Chains A and B, each alone.
Chain A
Amino acid sequence: MTRRRLENIALAGITLTAGAIWIFPLYWAFVTSIRSDARVVSDGAGLIPDEFNPTSYVDALFNTSLIDWYINSIGTSLIITVVVLVTGMMCAYALSQMQFPGRRLLYLVVLASFMVPAQTLVVPQFELMNRLDLINRWGGIILPQLVVPVVIIVYKQFFDALPKEMKEAVVLDGGGDYTLLFRVYLPLNWGITTALGIITFIMSWNAFLWPFLVVTTENMMTIPVGITQVNDAFGVAYARVMSVALLAAAPVVIAYLIFQKRVTEAVMISSGVKG
């Protein structure tokens, strides 16, 4: 019994320490963001909040294109999430349920592309977008982010595991592939769909490298790319950078708090695939 107690206390201690390490940068960013720029760089600016000065937030909101970046981020992330889910599901359905020549080969291609790190594709992708004249266009930001093999793989595994009779029952009831996919299989896997939706959304919200390369027009930037502009335009304005960063992270943090369980699930599902 006492041994159990000790263990619990030790575990709680470890968890709390890990939590503190995790929250510290956020805390520091917050403390910095509510100080004036002068105070931030002055001597003796410690870890304790000693000033409440919302200037940097006001600045961030009204003297940068933060609102535009927000809208851009929300727009592109939503479009990417929806398109990735719908196409991924349909692709997985075809690979799992339909008979056509080259099916296995196609799936191998999907698996292979899952193994290729996105960074290695940046140069050919840029070249491709350039030829398609999509640099500095929404299409250029969105298109390359629509390829998420893990979504296809997770859906395919799910479809593969469903009993054949379910499909046959639908066929006899007079339904086709679309009925089967959208009226039976989709409602059967809302859990997986929300989980995949959440990770796709977070992935594209946080995407930096590609949007950074493909967009140079400031009002087309997404938030992570926009943050770099705050730095450049005003020198090192720590308070303002931190407030923009916090505002950028806020939606993801809030979403995370709401969907906590689903996100954990999502990470487990997609890493389960990674093995």
Chain B
Amino acid sequence: MDGVKLTNIRKAFGPFEVIRDVSLEIPKGDFGVFVGPSGCGKSTLLRMIAGLENTSGGRIEIGGRDVTHVEPAKRGVAMVFQSYALYPHLSVAENMGFSLRLARAPRHEREAKVREAARILQLTDHLDKKPSALSGGQRQRVAIGRAIVREPEVFLFDEPLSNLDAELRVQMRLELTRLHRQIGATMIYVTHDQVEAMTLADDIFVLKGGHVMQSGHPLHLYDDPDNRFVAGFIGSPSMNFVSGVVTRADDTGLVARTEEGELRARVLGPKPGPGAEVVLGIRPEHLAPVEAGGLPVRVEVAEELGGQSFVHARSASGSDIVFERRENRARLDGQALRLGAAAEKVFAFTPEGGRLR
């Protein structure tokens, strides 16, 4: 487990607490992703691991070594920036070999490592070009090559794909996954795009306001969110939420009455009694039209994607409810429906956002 370990990490810029008590561990060779809304502190956390930002408290370990106060170049990390940050006056090969030059590595060693990185990244034909002569995707590959050449224990990526167009982003995402398999080094990746997080990560860390809200395997976070924030953040389109009041509670769950209908959620643990407020969450793919019960809605528009469609409907209380349909393409626009879901697919949350399991 000698990957990256953070213990009680804190960071304050003056009076602003940006990172509050973060402890996490990314095993060696894992692909960890920090994800969260803008301003949640993910870049700051990554930069602290890189050593570009000093820590206000806590301990950072890389490969079992305490690096909290070690200078960036000696931590065994390499970073890939969103803006690439290539050296414009140097060729691709010189860009990639710059760190080895500074370290006064022998020339043949440097050239061999640069060639190897170029081979992995399919940049061999571009080694003599200047960055300005490359496309965005190629530039990002050079930036990754610059990291590979240093043979770091940990690769750090701060939104490396967000300057690329959508198609290239998907392609680079696959390349990153392949690269990770090939190199096997620990990688930490920052993004605000939960799709990127889901597709790349072995472990996702969902951050909000300087806290880790939940961490774990992407599908675990999807299937079993700890709180309303994670439930809403992971998954696209997001989970539907409706608030209601508990009308019945028994061993297997509770029934909540919303403004317009009734839904049953499975809750095995402690649960609030009748009269308590709850928020119910249902993913779009778990909602389907039912004959009786459920939530009455009026369909507004459908996003037809071919294989599936996302139907946007409005409930009587005015909230937007999305559900997914496959195969059946009959138009529903303007129709009134009742939507229901199996009790084990309905998540219950307290009004404060905690999960009732």
Chain A residues in contact with chain B, CB under 8 A? 163, 165-166, 168-169, 171-175, 179, 184, 187-188
**Is B339 at the interface (CB under 8 A from chain A)?**
no
A188 vs B132: C-alpha distance in the bound complex, in angstroms? 13
A171-B73 in contact (CB<8A): yes
User: Is residue B103 within 8 Å, beta carbon to beta carbon, of the partner chain?
Assistant: yes
A-B contacts, 23 of them at CB < 8 A, read A163-B83, A165-B83, A165-B84, A166-B85, A166-B87, A168-B52, A168-B72, A168-B81, A169-B86, A171-B73, A172-B50, A172-B52, A172-B79, A173-B73, A173-B98, A173-B146, A174-B99, A174-B102, A175-B73, A175-B102, A179-B102, A184-B87, A188-B89
Residue of A163, A166, A187 with highest tally of chain B CB at under 10 A: A166
For the complex with contacts A172-B79, A174-B103, A188-B88, 4 further pairs of A-B residues with Cβ separation under 8 Å are A165-B83, A168-B85, A169-B86, A184-B87
| Chain B residue nearest to A189 in the complex (CB) | B89
Mostly, the B contact residues are loop
When the two chains form their complex, are residues A165 and B81 in contact, meaning their CB atoms are under 8 A apart?
yes
Residues of B within 8 A of A171 (CB): 52, 72-73
Whole-angstrom CA separation of A172 from B47 in the bound complex: 11
Of all chain A residues, the one with the shortest Cβ separation from B88 is A188
Bitwise interface map of B from 31 to 72 toward A, beta carbon under 8 Å scored 1, else 0: 000000000000000000010100000000000000000001
Question: Which residue of chain B is the closest to A186 with respect to CB atoms?
Answer: B89
Q: B-side interface residues toward A, CB under 8 Å?
A: 50, 52, 72-73, 77-79, 81-89, 98-99, 102-103, 146, 150
Closest A residue to B98 using CB positions: A173
A168 CA to B80 CA, complexed, in Å = 10
Which residues in B have their C-beta under 8 angstroms from that of A165?
Answer: 81-85
Which B residues touch A175, using CB under 8 A?
A: 73, 102
Does the CB pair A173–B88 fall under 8 Å? no
When distances are taken between beta carbons in the complex, the residues of chain B under 8 Å from A173 are 73, 98-99, 102, 146, 150
- Shortest C-beta distance, B292 to chain A (Å), equals 59
Expressed in whole angstroms, the Cα–Cα distance for A165 and B140 within the complex equals: 14
Bound together, the chains give a CA A166 to CA B150 distance in angstroms of 17
A179: which B residues are within 8 A, CB to CB? 102
**Smallest CB gap from B97: residue in A:** A173
Contact residues in B for A163 (Cβ distance below 8 Å): 83, 85
Q: B73, A174: Cβ atoms under 8 Å?
A: yes
Q: How far is the CA of A181 from the CA of B283 in the complex (A)?
A: 54
**For residue B150, which residue of chain A has the nearest CB?**
A173
Question: Which of B78, B84, B103 is in CB contact (< 8 Å) with A172?
Answer: B78
Closest 9 CB pairs of A and B: A165-B85, A174-B73, A173-B99, A169-B85, A187-B89, A165-B81, A174-B102, A165-B83, A171-B72
A169 touches B88 (CB 8 A): no
Docked pose: A174 CA to B99 CA in angstroms: 6
Determine the distance from Cα of A169 to Cα of B149 in the docked complex, in whole angstroms. Answer: 14
Bound-state CA distance A187–B98 (Å) is 14
Please, which residues of chain B bring their CB within 8 A of the CB of A184?
Answer: 87, 89
Q: Which residue of A lies closest to B53 (CB)?
A: A168
Rounded to whole Å, the gap between the CB of B115 and the closest CB of chain A is 19
B residues near A174, Cβ cutoff 8 Å = 73, 99, 102-103
A179 to B86, CA, bound (A): 15
Which residues in A have their C-beta under 8 angstroms from that of B83? 163, 165
| Smallest Cβ-Cβ distance to B74: which chain A residue | A174
Q: How far is the CB of A178 from chain B (nearest CB, A)?
A: 11
**Interface centre among A173, A174, A175, A184, by most B CB within 10 Å?**
A173
Could you tell me the distance in whole angstroms from the C-beta of B265 to the nearest C-beta in chain A?
A: 47
> For residue B78, which residues in chain A have a CB less than 8 angstroms away from its CB?
172
Docked-complex contact A169 and B72, CB < 8 angstroms: no
Q: What are the residues of chain B within 8 A of A172 when measuring CB–CB?
A: 50, 52, 72-73, 77-79, 99
| Bound CA span A188–B86, Å | 12
Which residues of the other chain, A, contact B77 by a CB distance below 8 angstroms? 172
- Taking the nearest CB of chain B, how far is it from the CB of A210, in angstroms? 37
A187 to B77, CA, bound (A): 27
> Shortest Cβ distance from B134 into chain A, in angstroms?
16
Among A163, A165, A169: residue with most chain B CB under 10 A: A169
B102 cross-chain contacts in A, Cβ below 8 A: 173-175, 179
